[in-house]
Amino acid sequence: MSACICILLLALCHASAFDVTGASAATPAASASSRNAAVAAGADTSSSRHEGRTYLVPALEGASTKLSSGPRPFLHRVSFSPAYGKLGEQTYFVFRFAYSPNRWLGYEIGLGHNPAHSVHGLLHNLSAVLRYPVAFRIQPYANLGYGMLTVYPGRTINADPVTKNVFTYGGGLEIYLRDDVAIRGEYLGTSVIGRDPLGPGSASYTYRQFTIGFSFYRSLGR
C-alpha cells in the first residue's frame, strides 16, 4: 500500500512539472501574439482616424503647416478675408473677397463697418491688389482702391445719411500658415472727399485704417 502511494505521488509531481514547463513555454508565444494583436489594433485605429476625413487641399494631408515649393501661387485663386481693426479712432470690421486673374494682380471687394457712439459708417470699395510672388511665408502687397462711405446718424441726431467718395491706398503683409491660409495685416490711408464747409469747393479728410485678420484661399483650377 505504501508503495502504491509513493508511485501515485511521483506521478502527480511529474504531471505538475510538465504543466509548469508547458505554461512557461507557451507564455512567450502568447505575449508575442498579444503584442502583434496590439500593434495591429493600433494600426487599425490609426488608419480609422483618417477614414472619413476629406482634405480640401489633398496635398496638405500629413503636412498641415508645410508650404509648397516656389513662389506663392495666386493665378485663378479666390480669397475671403475677415478682419478687425481701427478706422481713425473707432473700431472697424471688414470682410473682403478677392480674385486674381493672373499671378501679380488681384481685384478685391471690401465691405466694412465703422460703429461709433453718435454715428456709424459703412464703407464699400473696390481695390487693385498688386504683388510680386515670392517663395517665402511672408508675402507683401500694395493696395489701391476707390469706394463710397455712407455715414448714418444715430438716434440722437435728426439727419439723413450722407455718402462720400473714398480713395484708399497703402499695403500689407500676409504670413502663410499653409498654402491656403494666411494671417493678414494691412495699413491704408482712407481719404474721404467731401464739401468744404468754409467754401464752395471740396475738401479731403484722411483717416488711418489698420486691420488684422485671416485670408482663406481656394483655387478655381489651372
> Nearest to residue 152, comparing CAs of 110, 192, 122?
122
8-state DSSP, 133 = -
Q: What is the mean pLDDT of residues 202-214?
A: 91
Cα distance between residue 180 and residue 67, in whole Å = 9
Q: What is the pLDDT of residue 115?
A: 85
Cα distance between residue 123 and residue 127, in whole Å = 12
Q: What separation, in Å, do the N-terminal and C-terminal C-alpha atoms of the chain show?
A: 99
Q: Which domains does the chain have, with CATH numbers?
A: 77-219 (2.40.160.20)
**Top-confidence residue, 73 or 53:** 73
pTM: 0.68
> Nearest to residue 93, comparing CAs of 124, 130, 127?
124
Whether 93 contacts 112, CB under 8 Å: yes
User: Does pLDDT of 26 surpass 90?
Assistant: no
135-194 tens-digit pLDDT:
999 999 999 999 999 988 766 566 678 889 999 999 999 999 999 999 999 999 999 987
Q: What is the pLDDT of residue 195?
A: 75
Q: What is the pLDDT of residue 154?
A: 66
67-115 tens-digit pLDDT:
888 899 999 999 999 999 999 888 999 999 999 999 999 999 999 998 8
